[in-house]
Amino acid sequence: MDVDYISTRDIDAIPAKFTDILLGGLAPDGGLYLPVEYPQLDAKTLESWRELVSGDDEAGYGKLAAEVLKLFVDDIPAEDLDAIAARAYTHPKFSSKEIVPVTDLGDSLLIGHLSEGPTAAFKDMAMQLLGELFEYELGRREATLNILGATSGDTGSSAEYAMRGRHGIRVFMLTPAGRMTAFQQAQMFGLDDPNIFNIALDGVFDDCQDVVKAVSSDAQFKADHRIGAVNSINWARLMAQIVYYINCWLKVTDSADQKVSFSVPTGNFGDICAGHIARQMGLPIDRLIVATNENNVLDEFFRTGNYRPRPAAETMATSSPSMDISRASNFERFAFDLLDRDAEKIADLFGTKVKEGGFVLEEDVMDKAREVFGFVSSTSAHADRLATIKDVHEKYDYVVDPHTADGVKAAQEAQAEHTIETPIIVLETALPVKFAETIEEAIGQAPETPERFAHIMDADRFVTDLPNDVGAVKDFITSSIKTTEV
């Protein structure tokens, strides 16, 4: 079967191939790429994959990833996809041989460990694969790529650790000045690699994301400077994330008729959008819980149908900072499916209405989101995170980071309200060491520091401060490209 991709705003539905959208990121019309149709998973296929991740084979997760990739990619040979996935998911690069183990806490509550990678954040799951894909395709084309991204905390370090030292690649990563934890800043700004450029922007994450979109929307600049994306606007990120939903389901079920639910801390809607796609593919997922913090634009939408992105001034700095986002880029992909893939309507809603303050969807559409697509939502405040971290530590002898605490709180809330009867897998966001101050506030002691991060705070810092200005960022990119070889 041919695998083609279209933009969420492409009324003419001109198809593209995977390797073209891999290097391009955002579509020329400002939309996001999705497959023309989602491949389907039947019970026989799922059962054939179960043995890949159930045994002691350290290569099992990579083999599963390769099988999923083959469903979405038809312009890279299958044997090359096998090798790419095998290189991306290895031990000890990931500290667990399983890559993504699952822990049963009890009370039908489980943790899907997505933080075993080199930067202790779930973003490593997609970024390590993206690094391999980029280097492979650039090598085939004898080309270079300048990656422009924005991070609220974890995407940046995951991207930089995945891309550092790779031939033909530079990374320009925008961060909101002063908005990340000391550990997150140390991970990024401590890298002294000639192809890595850290930029601290005078603004919040949404400002950083807006600059990335503005630069990417300048077709001439993008072409002249070979600009690509690693943020979750890049389809390959979501494709990689679909794998761990399948992995977790395989690990906790015995047969294809068993369903599980997932609770997903999210701000940019990428992580949970991958779950939505996995569900649309036929993975037996009962419910998808959107867990937000005080920046609860997504929770407001799923409760009321009102999508009201907030300006930077109204985006709060919280103790789960990677979710301090008020304009969720990947939400457009979900809305495209929700509105029966009406590209003209999506172009109006996200190209016009969002810029005017947002939009409201009808109640029958919201019923579809909840009942057909299985979404529920929740929001948490700082006090909730502290209470949840403390409760999980005392009840289960386990420490979760603040974002994962948002997910646990949402899951427990759904259980208490009897909204969900199936086991709930909470997708872990990061290791607690990245948020030591909040952990200490919650349980009275600092979290354990894994040996591989013992000296991370000691390194020098390499970062450039820039104003919240698209022109200034463009000038920095241009001058940096001229003065560095990759």
Query: Residue 81: is its pLDDT beyond 90?
Result: yes
Within 266-303, strands assigned E span: 285-292
- pTM above threshold 0.85: yes
Q: 179, 203 in Cβ contact below 8 A?
A: no
Residue 244 forms part of a structural domain: yes
Query: Residue 393: is its pLDDT beyond 90?
Result: yes
CA separation for the pair 425, 258 (Å, rounded): 13
pLDDT in tens, 367-387: 999 999 999 999 999 999 999
**What CATH number does residue 325 fall under?**
3.40.50.1100
Q: Hey, what's the torsion of the CAs at 380, 365, 427, 182, to 10 degrees?
A: -50
Which of 157, 162, 199 has its CA nearest to residue 182?
A: 157
Q: How confident is the model at residue 20 (pLDDT cuts 50, 70, 90)?
A: confident
Full domain range(s) for residue 299: 102-119+235-443
Residue 114 forms part of a structural domain: yes
Q: 443, 389 in Cβ contact below 8 A?
A: yes
pLDDT, residue 7, reads 95
Rg of the chain over Cα atoms, rounded to whole angstroms, equals 21
pLDDT, residue 445, reads 94
pLDDT, residue 209, reads 84
pLDDT, residue 470, reads 96
Among 248-257, 286-295, 445-454, name the one with the lowest average pLDDT: 445-454
Q: 324, 295 in Cβ contact below 8 A?
A: yes
Residue 366: which H helix or E strand, with range? helix 363-367
Residue 334 forms part of a structural domain: yes
Q: Which residue has 């004898």 as its token pair?
A: 142
pLDDT, residue 317, reads 86
CA separation for the pair 167, 170 (Å, rounded): 9
DSSP 394-459: HHHS----HHHHHHHHHHHHHHHTTS--S-EEEE--B-GGGGHHHHHHHHSSPPP--GGGTTGGGS
Q: Mean of the pLDDT values across residues 317-346? A: 92
Query: Residue 107: is its pLDDT beyond 90?
Result: yes
Q: Mean of the pLDDT values across residues 198-209? A: 90
CA separation for the pair 270, 235 (Å, rounded): 10
pLDDT, residue 157, reads 87
pLDDT, residue 40, reads 97
Which of 458, 104, 72 has its CA nearest to residue 241?
A: 72
User: 18: which 2 tokens?
Assistant: 């995977």
Residue 337 forms part of a structural domain: yes
Q: Mean of the pLDDT values across residues 196-203? A: 94
Q: How confident is the model at residue 57 (pLDDT cuts 50, 70, 90)?
A: confident
Among 62-76, 238-252, 260-274, 322-336, name the one with the lowest average pLDDT: 322-336
Query: Residue 460: is its pLDDT beyond 90?
Result: no
Q: How confident is the model at residue 27 (pLDDT cuts 50, 70, 90)?
A: confident
Nearby residues of 114 by Cβ (< 8 Å), 6 or more positions away: 100, 121, 122, 124, 125, 244, 427, 428, 429
Q: 188, 250 in Cβ contact below 8 A?
A: no
Residue 252 forms part of a structural domain: yes
Query: Residue 347: is its pLDDT beyond 90?
Result: yes
Q: How confident is the model at residue 486 (pLDDT cuts 50, 70, 90)?
A: confident
pLDDT in tens, 414-444: 999 988 999 999 999 999 998 999 999 999 9
Residue 388 forms part of a structural domain: yes
Which of 4, 15, 45, 467 has its CA nearest to residue 282?
A: 45
Q: 33, 27 in Cβ contact below 8 A?
A: yes
pLDDT, residue 478, reads 96
Nearby residues of 417 by Cβ (< 8 Å), 6 or more positions away: none
pLDDT, residue 242, reads 98
Query: Residue 232: is its pLDDT beyond 80?
Result: no
Strand partners, 464: 199
Asked if the bond preceding 92 is cis, omega within 30° of 0, the reply is yes
pLDDT, residue 234, reads 87
- How many structural domains does the chain have? 1
The mean predicted confidence, pLDDT, of the chain is 93
3-class DSSP assignment, residue 48: helix
DSSP 142-200: T--EEEEEE-SSSHHHHHHHHHTT-TTEEEEEEEETT-S-HHHHHHHHT---TTEEEEE
pLDDT, residue 345, reads 97
Query: Residue 360: is its pLDDT beyond 80?
Result: yes
Q: How confident is the model at residue 325 (pLDDT cuts 50, 70, 90)?
A: confident
The C-alpha angle 418, 424, 429, rounded to 5 degrees, equals 130
Max CA distance (Å), the chain? 60
Residue 313 forms part of a structural domain: yes
Q: 31, 232 in Cβ contact below 8 A?
A: no
Residue 394 forms part of a structural domain: yes
Q: Which residues are catalytic?
A: 123
Residue 65 vs residue 206, higher pLDDT: 65
CA separation for the pair 101, 474 (Å, rounded): 41
